Amino acid sequence: GFTPRVFSGIQPSGRLTLGNYLGALKRFADAQDRGVQSIYCMVDLHAITVWQDPAALRNATRELAAGFIASGIDPEKSILFNQSQVPEHAQLAWVFNCVARLGWMNRMTQFKDKAGKNAEKASLGLYAYPALMAADILIYHATHVPVGEDQKQHVELTRDIAAKFNHDYKTDFFPMPEPVIEGAATRVMSLRDGSKKMSKSDPSDASRINMTDDADTIAAKIRKAKTDPDALPSESKGLEGRAEARNLVNIYAALSDSSVDAVLQEFGGQQFSAFKPKLSELAVARLSPISTEMARLMEHTDEIDAILTRGATRAREIATPVLRNTYEIIGM
């Protein structure tokens, strides 16, 4: 058996949202005391599969790292680093490019979504992205991969690559990593459209709360968030078919480490006009210490860079022997 080990990567592109916080960063911080080794990566090599302005990329990478640290992920307990600082990711990805089949890559729905109609103009990197993601995970022999629903297919491809490698080379060298999908309770939806995930890549800034938004901005976005004219129900079945209402209740529950039922017990029967200010107050109380710490770190980028460099050294202690063994197995 393989020792349980968690790997997760986030792209440094755009601002971190409340969705990233509740669906990823907060969960990672909460999981940290369970003692499973966790490796968190700023996946800058993935980000450049579409054009990134160099200065913006550098800034977004540091801001993402600041988001991890400010959310309570302890860089001593977990390994926090930047993908491009650990060359073994790209090296193992090449091996996996030779293991993965074209037919497998052709089935990846995210490529189709991201490349759009004009796939001929997409970068080769965007197409090969899932093989790099497989390398990100397997270079650490990670067993558990927290991801959004949209990345589940890529973790399945990772398993296919591991299985084919193990089969072709008659080895059991790579583990079969499990996706750990965020639950409905931690999936944060757009404030403008309850059927869409809140995302840093949504063109509408009003659709999301950014982790760096100030108190007034957060309050204004919540005030304008789409709801329906009905009061909050006192039981969760009263949220059926009310995606926007449910989303705001979910957010309240997640931010207060409570449950939807408990929130409805407290607010059932009240109008959203009364609930929204309470939600704003809670969101500001939870996010403002984090955004303050992010801003402080962004004024001391040397501190961030030192943490990432130290994280890369620790990551390489695991990645170097895995790559060496892989090459050995292949006959190199």
Select from 6, 11, 275, 280 the one that contacts ligand ADP (CB under 6 A).
11
- Binds ligand ADP by CB under 6 A, chosen from 188, 287, 304, 308: 188
| CA gap 185, 27 in Å, rounded | 12
294 is in an annotated binding site: no
Helix (H, G, I), strand (E, B) or coil at 100: coil
Taken in order 191, 194, 200, 203, the sign of the CA dihedral is: negative
Q: Give yes or no for residue 10 binding ligand ADP (CB under 6 A).
A: yes
**d(C-alpha 42, C-alpha 64), whole Å:** 7
User: Should residue 20 be labelled a site residue for ligand ADP when binding is judged by CB under 6 A?
Assistant: yes
| Residue count, binding to ligand ADP (CB under 6 A) | 20
CA distance 202 to 196: 9
**Minimum CB separation from ligand ADP for residue 190, in Å?**
8
82 binds ligand ADP (CB under 6 A): no
Least distance to ligand ADP, CB of residue 1, Å: 26
Angle between helices 272-298 and 54-70 (to 10 degrees): 110
Nearer to ligand ADP by C-beta: 254 or 263? Answer: 254
Strands 5-10 and 178-181: unpaired
Closest CA to 265 of 231, 234, 236, 232: 234
Distance CA 126, CA 264 (A): 43
Q: Quote the tokens at residue 209.
A: 């709360």
Is 149 marked as binding a ligand? yes
Residue 183 · residue 259 · CB < 8 Å: no
Does the annotation place 234 within a ligand binding site? no
Q: Is 91 marked as a binding-site residue?
A: no
Active site residues: 114, 197, 200
88 scored as a contact of ligand ADP (CB under 6 A): no
49 binds ligand ADP (CB under 6 A): no
Q: Give the phi and the psi of residue 295 in degrees, each rounded to 5.
A: -65, -40
- Using the minimum distance from each CB to ligand ADP, give the nearer residue, 186 or 227: 186
Closest CB 182 distance from ligand ADP, rounded Å: 5
146 binds ligand ADP (CB under 6 A): yes
Binder to ligand ADP among 5, 187, 226, 276 (CB under 6 A)? Answer: 187
Structure tokens at 100: 């993965």
Q: How far apart are CA 50 and CA 180, in angstroms?
A: 26
Residue (156 or 266) nearer to ligand ADP, CB: 156
Selected binder of ligand ADP within 147, 232, 318, 323 (CB under 6 A): 147
3-state class of 206 per DSSP? helix
Q: CA-CA distance, 280 to 140, in Å (whole number)?
A: 40
Known binding positions? 11-13, 19-20, 136, 148-150, 188, 197-201
Footprint on this chain of ligand ADP (rule: CB under 6 A): 10-11, 17, 19-20, 22-24, 146-148, 182, 186-188, 197-201
Known binding positions for ATP? 11-13, 19-20, 148-150, 188, 197-201
